[in-house]
Amino acid sequence: MKLRRSSAPEPQPAPAAARGSRDGTPDSVLDAAAAIVRALAEAASGGPEPAARLDAWARHLLLLEPAPNARGGAAPTGRDWAGLRRHVVAHVREDRDAVARSMTDLQDAVWLVVDGLSQAIVGDGANDADAAGQLDRLRAAAGGPAAELKATALQTVQRLSEIADERSARQVQLARELGERVEVLRVELDDTRREVEVDPLTKLGNRSVLQRELPRAVQVRTLVDEPACLAVVDLDNFKQINDRHGHQTGDSALEAFASALARSFPRRRDVVTRFGGDEFAVILRDASAEDGCRLAERFLVAVRQLEVAGPRETLQLSASVGIAEAFPGEAADSWFARADRALYEAKAAGRDRVAIAGDDVSAAHSRLAA
């Protein structure tokens, strides 16, 4: 499924003064270029260092901070577009190589399992040939003297017993080795899946997790009549935080915000995700609209108590939340769109509040009154 934000315009604060690019680059171009660089940072693999370098380049574009590759302490006189281009090209190549290495590791782990199975087949084939030879000798001795037949029969029984013991011991050892190899493969797959599905900044699930879990929650809602609630959450005035205090402070605000979100929705079966810059979503299983509203109000209290250190002052944060309860048989896109519209209603009403999707309000009120 594809997540589409509502077409309703978000309430905007009064425009701030332009930054006044020294090299004549329009602010709109700087904003777009920095957004692309930060998107690369959010999707970067290989740990926090590649993301931190890209974030430093974004600050160089927006705030004219020294470029990451700059030498000496002199303030830059212009934006190093050529250096940025070289860094992005190198980053994309490194990211591609990291993915290739990960795939090679997985292929090697799979090959270990295949190799073990092949050895088992070859070993059993050799034992089968040995056993067939013993039986052939016994059949040949059947037409000879009784003493020879008896001796051959005893030898055959003894050898067949040895073959059975060898096969049993080898299969036990093979089972142990295959178990170890399968465990290695499982760990590799789990690590790769977690790396792909975890937002590197907040350590929450990313957009792919939300896109996978939304339809599943709707299916459970339809099949077993278990309520499910979706909360779409935004950090209020995040762009102003970035513009006034810098992206490093913005990242600190996002990390604190995400931590409060995870603490406010602690159940293991709930799905807490970051699917955009300042955009988060929580899927609450076995929860109605009023349950979601109650938990969201608790989250707002936690956010109001956060303090984020900025370069000149300590920042206070707030959040807006849109709540929608899933309808039986509803498409996941429709469910998300209703919660997203409720979010915009909360923003339009002044932010720092929770709004329930219009279709859910009367049902929530009636359940609360019951």
Catalogue the active-site residues.
278
Quote the CA–CA distance of 314 and 241 in Å, as a whole number. Answer: 11
Which amino acid is located at 161 in the chain? S
Quote the CA–CA distance of 23 and 59 in Å, as a whole number. Answer: 15
Please report where in the chains the tokens 């490093």 appear, as a residue: 248
- How many CA atoms lie within 13 Å of 154's alpha carbon, on the beta-carbon side? 5
Quote the CA–CA distance of 202 and 254 in Å, as a whole number. Answer: 7
Please answer whether residues 174 and 115 qualify as being in contact, where contact means their C-beta atoms are separated by less than 8 angstroms: no
Quote the CA–CA distance of 228 and 212 in Å, as a whole number. Answer: 15
Q: Extract the tokens encoding 362.
A: 């009367």
> Alpha-carbon dihedral of residues 16, 17, 22, 27, nearest 10 degrees?
40
Cβ neighbour number for residue 237 with a 10 Å cutoff = 18
> Alpha-carbon dihedral of residues 340, 343, 345, 346, nearest 10 degrees?
180
> Alpha-carbon dihedral of residues 151, 155, 161, 167, nearest 10 degrees?
-160
Q: Extract the tokens encoding 92.
A: 């994309």
> From the centroid of its chain, how far is CA 242?
25
Please answer whether residues 365 and 332 qualify as being in contact, where contact means their C-beta atoms are separated by less than 8 angstroms: no
